A and B are shown apart, each in its own frame.
Chain A
Amino acid sequence: MGFKNLINYKKIAALFAVLLLCGTNVLMAQTTDATATAATDDAAKSAMWTGVGYYVLLFLLLCFGVAIIGRILKVYDLSNQLQNKKGIHWNNIMGVFCAVFLVVGGSAAYWSITVQGSMSLPEAASAHGVHIDEMFLTTTVLTMIVFVITQILLFTFLFIYRHSEKRRAYFLPHNNTIEKVWTIIPAIVLTILVVFGFFTWRTVTNSQQVKGDINIDITGHQFAWELRYPGKDGVLGRKNYRLTTALNNLGIDYKDRNSFDDLKADTMVIPVNHSIRLNINAQDVIHSVYMPHFRVQLNAVPGLPTFFKFVPTITTAEMRAKEDNPQFEYLVYCNKICGGGHYNMKKIVRVVTENEYQQWLLQQKPYLTDGLKKELKIADVSQQKSGVTNRLALNN
């Protein structure tokens, strides 16, 4: 009986495989046809529906196959019971599955960690980034140990202690010593991580304004970043969102003399090994300045100016050589959902030597364009007039 079943089973499996193959072949033909004859709408529509139909058919076939296998297992089980043999030992099968899962899953995880892991976490290109990466490495090592041990225990226990009629479970309601041990050990490990992390965090964020910092203004709006560099004076002029016009899109306040030489830039060019202070703003919704290579991220919040200080340590040219990719660029992009164009809101960041930086600065145009000057002159005149009328009013 069991033998017959086996034959039966194999036949059906083979049949099923053939059907599957046919299905996919037809489907592939269909899809190529569909792309070729997409000229008319009707043809495309019908092609689409046939495509869908084949997928549905394929799925139904799969369900049918599963049902048949289930039926066979049931028949096999019942026939065994009729012959006073034990049915299928599902507990054993599942126990073995758990062991297999542990081995296969473990090797898959290992593959993923080594292959995909090496694709990730690019080298830190900033001074504080190195500290963050040390922290990351410590955390990874500690958690990986726990991950491996607990998952191995979990699945080996499942395999070893799978159900058996002959055995009884070991009655063990609690054990205070061991519970204390595994409360205290995680507590100690976490204390290490907390202390280490706390100090890393403080060094990253404890950033006083120091003389010599290069102040760069970065403002997010839907869906682009605007950059503003201070001119020769090294000071950025004040801004007021109420002054925003089509020409003065950042609302720079030109009553502040520091504004006059502020520069507009398309690329964030920064000198290597120099402390950069990014002043982060947003005009409409929350954006987030994200520069993964520098381990920099801070939200740009309308009405709440923030800043992030960092020191880039690797120039773009050096990074291109390291990555062996002549097209490599550092990027700043948005990492807080901000609307339909969120996925494409980037600016190139280029880290250069001090010399190159100074040369680049010379080529940048000020924000105060001729058009804007014209617009502002009108504003100046009207302001003077209103000043005069005020004085007159006071005289009265």
Chain B
Amino acid sequence: MSTLAVQDHGVHHDHDHDHEHHHDTFLTKYIFSQDHKMIAKQFLITGITMAVIAMILSILFRIQLAYPDKSFPLLETLLGRFAPGGRLNPEFYLSLVTIHGTIMVFFVLTAGLSGTFSNLLIPLQLGARDMASPFMNMLSYWFFFIASVIMLSSFFIQKGPAGGGWTIYPPLSALPKAMSGSDMGMTLWLISIICFVASSLLGGINYISTILNMRTKGMDLWKMPLTIWSFFLTATLGVLSFPVLVAGLVLLIFDRSFGTSFYLSDIVLGGKIMPFEGGSPILFQHLFWFLGHPEVYIVIMPAMGIASEVMSVNSRKPIFGYHAMVYSLIGITVLSFIVWGHHMFVTGMNPFLGGVFMITTLIIAVPSAVKTFNWLATLWRGNIRFTPAMLFAIGMVSYFISGGLTGIFLGNAALDINLHDTYFVVAHFHLVMGSAAIFGMLAGVYHWFPKMFGKMMDERLGYLHFWITFIGAYLVFFPMHFMGLDGVPRRYYAFTEFESMKRWLSVNVFITWSAIMSAFAQVAFLCNFIYSIFWGKKATQNPWQANTLEWTAPVEHLHGNWPGEIPTVYRWPYDYSKPGAEEDFIPQTVPFSQTMSSNLPHDFEDNELGMQAHEQWVAANRANEEVK
């Protein structure tokens, strides 16, 4: 969409929809908006709402785990028949676990994270007026919204929400009589997730086409910020793997409602012989994890991109090994499709297959290690500004290391025999994809809040929020490793039935109180977030002295992002603290001809004219110095 025409009056630009934004109604501006910035905000606020709900659910079941014998009359007041006598019903406990997982993985860390920042940053960092298809973008949000409403509505039906775990393995999820959550709640879960996948695909296709087609002049792929690379690869992963999940879910719907036997065979439920024959429950697991594993990278890769960008800006240093960062992202993307079997080592799958999946799984640790080392090298000899966003990016790296290393245990089929489905797994993924991804998301919120709302967030509340959450999450998840190693299974309603698990009860109490503390820390964030939207300090155009294009757009949002011409890009986004430069950052829009003193021969690979100019300048300068 870039054009060479020079326009000197600010507001007007050569855009077909120009006349529209002059008479925006409330409905078109805030509800059915097609503007990517507004859609990003819609995604963010819905995502945060869902996150708060899922967090409250987790506190409810944590209370149950810490005090399995106590009754809390308040719970009965709040939950009614799901907590008779103030104690959670065991099946409702499983529903809480299930919905907590589903909301966090899909609604918060997929839609809330990718949806918000892909929508906000892709056009702004690439120099596009809007997404390739704004209407599809709007549909994407509304499908997501409908999915959220359906998912939450399952709390209001007679038998309660789905309860078979977020992985909804059949036959448990396929037989409505197997547990109360597999009845109507499961139907709603399936409908909701299918809407969600529709949303995710509409969004993903849009992101990919925008990134491939709508970059501004000069923005070649190797000049894109790492955020965009990560959103691009995330969207690709989603577009290729989500349809497989839908296929799996449709077959499950058939099994549940139309009497087919894709996943069911040889079943006697409660003494009643069922007619199903010839299906395989393992088939569902293959289909599910073919999405399920890429899904965890869909969750973590945007967080990696955001952390890379935020760390580079706030260390005032170029990201170390930009190319290696991109290649490792690509490596993770490709490998993530061939590792799903590591979730199924102990399902009875052919042990040889288990061996193969173990090899591919452990290979994926190499690009992850490269990323970690590159982040550390980015910090080395930096000039680190501790904005809240920077702290959260650092937290992300710390969690990614801690949680990633335990992945080496779980990816090893032999070790997985003893660790599968224990608290070790819970600790592992909550650190590596739960906490790390949510910290990436929070880093993004703090960093791009000025871009989204034109206001600054309060830094000191941000610090408070960071430290309590960061320490709290470690306190919650670190001890869980040892419970898992002792053979304490996940998804247990109470550990009171086993003599050997009773000694972990005090640890459970500790974990619960740490979780409650971290949950209260989120109040600091929410207050900060809401307060700053309305009464925050006004933001300047480039509050973080960053190089990327979004900071060249005016603080006031306008349809089309830039008044007048879209800026042209001349350099990569990471020229921070370049020796010889006047300031410690050079935005992407500054041509090399304006920064002769800081240019390096490296900047002119594949650019002979530029190289000649650079050599001439160097020669002239040297002559000057000799004269002096």
Contact = CB atoms under 8 A, between A and B. Distances in A.
A344 B316 CA distance: 55
A183 B381 contact: no
Given A147-B405, A161-B315, A179-B321, A303 B264 contact: yes
B355 A193 contact: no
Interface in A40-79: 44-45, 48, 51-52, 59, 62-63, 66, 70, 73
A286 B169 contact: yes
Question: What are the 5 tightest A-B residue pairs by CB atom distance, in nearest-first order?
Answer: A292-B487, A303-B265, A205-B351, A94-B386, A120-B485
Interface of A: 44-45, 48, 51-52, 59, 62-63, 66, 70, 73, 90-91, 94-95, 97-98, 101, 105, 108-109, 112, 116-117, 119-122, 129, 131-132, 135-136, 139-140, 142-143, 146-147, 150-151, 153-155, 157-158, 161-164, 167-175, 178-179, 182-183, 186-187, 190, 193-194, 197-198, 200-202, 204-206, 221-222, 241-242, 244, 246, 249, 251, 280, 283-286, 288, 290, 292-293, 295-299, 301-304, 306, 327, 331, 333-344, 346
A205 B352 CA distance: 9
B487 A122 contact: yes
A201 B401 contact: no
Contact of B379 (A73, A90, A161, A174): A161
Given A91-B385, A168-B577, A285-B178, A202 B355 contact: yes
How many B residues are at the interface, by size bracket?
35 or more
Nearest to A344: B497
Contacts of A170: 317, 380-382, 577
B53 interface: no
Nearest to A73: B460
B172 A285 contact: yes
A200 B414 contact: yes
B359 interface: yes
A284 B177 CA distance: 10
Contacts of B491: 337, 342-343
A301 B524 contact: no
Given A171-B318, A303-B264, A151 B398 contact: yes
A146 B420 contact: no
B74 A48 contact: yes
Nearest to A116: B482
B412 interface: yes
B384 A161 contact: yes
B460 A303 contact: no
A197 B402 CA distance: 21
B604 interface: no
Contacts of B265: 302-304
A143 B507 CA distance: 24
A301 B282 contact: yes
21 contacts: A94-B463, A95-B384, A135-B415, A154-B394, A154-B397, A157-B379, A169-B381, A170-B380, A173-B322, A179-B324, A204-B417, A284-B175, A284-B270, A285-B178, A295-B417, A303-B265, A331-B498, A333-B489, A333-B498, A335-B420, A343-B492
Interface string B482-499: 111111010111110111
Contacts of B322: 173-174
Contacts of B279: 303
B231 interface: no
B597 to A, nearest CB: 13
B373 interface: yes
Contacts of A190: 362-363, 365-366, 408
A204 B414 contact: yes
B497 A343 contact: yes
Interface string B408-440: 110011110110111000000000000000000
Contact of A169 (B316, B323, B485): B316
Contacts of A290: 421, 487, 489
A105 B474 contact: yes
B126 interface: no
B543 interface: no
B520 A301 contact: no
Interface in B33-92: 73-74, 77, 89-91
Contacts of A70: 458, 460-461
Contacts of B191: none
A262 B26 CA distance: 76
B415 A139 contact: yes
